[in-house]
Amino acid sequence: MPPSETPSAETPQGGAGQPQIVFDQVVKRFGDLTVLDHLDFSVEPGERVTLIGPSGSGKTTILRLLMTLEKVTEGRIDVAGEPFSHMRRGNHLVPASESYLRRRRRSIGMVFQQFNLFPNMTVRKNVIEAPVHVLGLSKGEANERAEELLDLVGLGDKIDAHPTQLSGGQQQRVAIARALAMRPDILLLDEVTSALDPELVAGVLDVLRQVAETTDITMLCVTHEMAFARDVSHRVLMFDKGQIAEEGPPEQIFEDPREDRTKSFLRSVLDNGF
Amino acid sequence: MQFLIERFPLYLDGAWVTVQITLGGSALAFVLAMAFGILGTIKHWLPRAVATVYVEVFRGIAAMVLIFWMAYVLPDLTGYRLDRTFAAILAVGLNVGAYGAEVVRAAINAVPKTQVEATVALNLSWFQRMRLVVLPQAWAQMLPTFGNLVIELMKATAVVYLIGVVDLTAIARQVRDATGETVIAYMGALLIYFLIAQVLIFGMRLLERRANRKLGRTPPGGTGLGALLRHPVVPGAGGGVSG
């Protein structure tokens, strides 16, 4: 796709508002392995950020920290101007409790590499259960929302199918609809096309392009699809060894990378058939 | 044959008692297995400790010893006498429930972690996660083993004649004592136990089929009704459906 079609012209930068996500000296260790090493970065509301880098560089961990699937080892994360990994107690911060996390992660949705649809539910149930039980929507409202979203992802006719009857690409599009049904402010996309057969990738990416163009959801996207990253993101962060090696608008990162690590990473991705 | 037909009503009375204890014991065992099995999967140490104590205590005691306790020791200690049949139900239920709790715990733990992560991403509470996602998926995993446990439980009820409950085994004994026909008397019991077991197995396979269908899996052994009579080929191991 030619760069002229990129939505990056309307980059929501320099606005008066505060950043939506702030990582402040975040460290994440698994045993002796340091995955994130005193990481600082922030994301503006409505911004679409792509995280690239070699595997093991900590990209996915960032999404998992935001989804509260992991806890920070050191440092802190703020979301929407409020502590997220921590909570206030008196005038200091303590690690967030489960109930605090449950309240705060309401604004965040995630799509996984392996889709993770619930095999014990139809497509419809997959999409409506959380809105009904968590958001308190009526069955009717939830169904309406589900039908709308499944139409958006091109699967309106599969609403009563079973996940096992769908292809990987279709399952992933249902997973996107399921995440969007919760009306998140922030959408985390964790290598959402990596588990798909090559011919199914485009359908999923088209849906995500559409979401990017028609909503102002903040998107954090870990991907190896460089064309997609270039099309939809306002900013690309290149990770290496748990730190940001380089960041910038997609045109600069892909056409004029300054860091050797970025250059060699992009070269290796190109060699793998990009 | 004539011999058995004449005494058929007698055998039927005994079989009815056996069935009552089997169903009552299974119901109790199921409730206990679910409750303590779920407790055993909670991160906090206290519920887990409670589950472990129940499982280890009641798994370790022979059903027969439990039955004697319920029927004779408990009344001595508490002065309160339980109905004999109820005591038998309690004993087999507590015993088999302990095995069942381990089955439930293992089945819940076998639900892929990625499914749990998806429930976190949708912000479901622990209770919602259990009810909507984890238990329905674990259920298909539990059923084959539950089927075995129900049969085991049914067979374990044969010792209740020792506390004076007139079940199928007690009837066979009575018939033998009254007539001296050992072979035929016990042949009658054997046949009826076998029949009850077949009905239980059939019922459990129906449940299994339904559970597998709900998970979008083809029932092992094919879809025809006849498949229920065959022994299932390796029941769908693990929850590897989402790939």
Predicted-complex ipTM score: 0.90
Burial status of residue A114 (CB atoms within 10 A of its CB: 0-12, 13-18, 19 or more): buried
The enclosing domain of B108 has a CATH number of 1.10.3720.10
A140 pLDDT above the threshold of 80: yes
B232 pLDDT above the threshold of 60: no
Q: Does the residue A214 lie in any domain?
A: yes
Q: Show the DSSP H helices in A26-162 as ranges.
A: 59-66, 98-104, 123-133, 139-152
Identify which of B211, B168, B215, B175 has the alpha carbon closest to the alpha carbon of residue B193. Answer: B168
B240 pLDDT above the threshold of 80: no
Residues of chain B contacting residue A178, judged by C-beta atoms under 8 Å apart: 122
Q: Which range marks the domain in which residue B50 is found? A: 2-228
A114 CB within 8 Å of a chain B CB: yes
A28 strand-pairing partners: A36
What does the alpha-carbon distance between residue B55 and residue B49 come to, in Å, rounded to a whole number? Answer: 10
Q: Does the residue B76 lie in any domain?
A: yes
Q: Does the residue A92 lie in any domain?
A: yes
Mean pLDDT of A122-141: 97
What does the alpha-carbon distance between residue A71 and residue A57 come to, in Å, rounded to a whole number? Answer: 17
Give the pLDDT confidence of A260-269 residue by residue, as tens digits: 999 999 998 8
Give the pLDDT confidence of B96-148 residue by residue, as tens digits: 999 999 999 999 999 999 999 999 999 999 999 999 999 999 999 999 999 99
A187 strand-pairing partners: A109, A219
- How open is the CA angle B14-B8-B3, to the nearest 5 degrees? 125
Provide the shortest C-alpha distance from residue A192 to chain B (in Å): 13
Q: Verify whether the Cβ–Cβ distance A133 to B124 is below 8 Å.
A: yes
Give the pLDDT confidence of B4-42 residue by residue, as tens digits: 888 889 999 999 999 999 999 999 999 999 999 999 999
Structure tokens, B85: 């049949």
Q: Does the residue B101 lie in any domain?
A: yes
- Interchain CB contacts (distance < 8 Å): A and B: 77
The enclosing domain of A24 has a CATH number of 3.40.50.300
Strands A186-190 and A108-111: parallel
Mutation pick from A69, A104, A118 vs chain B, by most beta carbons of B within 10 Å, is: A118
pLDDT band at A273 (very low <50, low <70, confident <90, very high): low
Provide the shortest C-alpha distance from residue A117 to chain B (in Å): 6
In angstroms and rounded to an integer, the radius of gyration of the C-alpha atoms of chain B is 21
Strands A21-30 and A74-79: antiparallel
How many separate domains does chain A show? 1
Q: Verify whether the Cβ–Cβ distance A182 to B215 is below 8 Å.
A: no
Identify which of A189, A187, A166, A155 has the alpha carbon closest to the alpha carbon of residue A117. Answer: A166
Contact criterion met (CB below 8 Å) for A188 and A108: yes
Q: Does the residue A5 lie in any domain?
A: no
- For B77, B83, B87, the CA distances from B80, given in Å and listed in that order, are 8, 10, 12
How many separate domains does chain B show? 1
What does the alpha-carbon distance between residue A27 and residue A74 come to, in Å, rounded to a whole number? Answer: 5
Provide the shortest C-alpha distance from residue B97 to chain A (in Å): 26
Contact criterion met (CB below 8 Å) for A122 and A161: yes
Mutation pick from B42, B113, B114, B122 vs chain A, by most beta carbons of A within 10 Å, is: B122
Q: Does the residue A65 lie in any domain?
A: yes
Mutation pick from A97, A103, A116 vs chain B, by most beta carbons of B within 10 Å, is: A116
Give the pLDDT confidence of B187-222 residue by residue, as tens digits: 999 999 999 999 999 999 999 999 998 888 865 555
Q: Which range marks the domain in which residue A26 is found? A: 19-271
Residue B81 confidence (pLDDT): 86
Q: Does the residue A91 lie in any domain?
A: yes
Indicate the residue of B123, B137, B243 with minimum beta-carbon distance to A130.
B123
Chain A residue at shortest CA distance from B241: A119
User: What's the whole-model pTM score?
Assistant: 0.86
- Which positions ≥6 away from B176 have C-beta within 8 Å? B182, B185, B186
Q: Does the residue B184 lie in any domain?
A: yes
Q: Verify whether the Cβ–Cβ distance B128 to A134 is below 8 Å.
A: yes
Provide the shortest C-alpha distance from residue B140 to chain A (in Å): 10
Q: Does the residue B241 lie in any domain?
A: no
Q: Does the residue B243 lie in any domain?
A: no
Q: Verify whether the Cβ–Cβ distance A117 to B124 is below 8 Å.
A: no
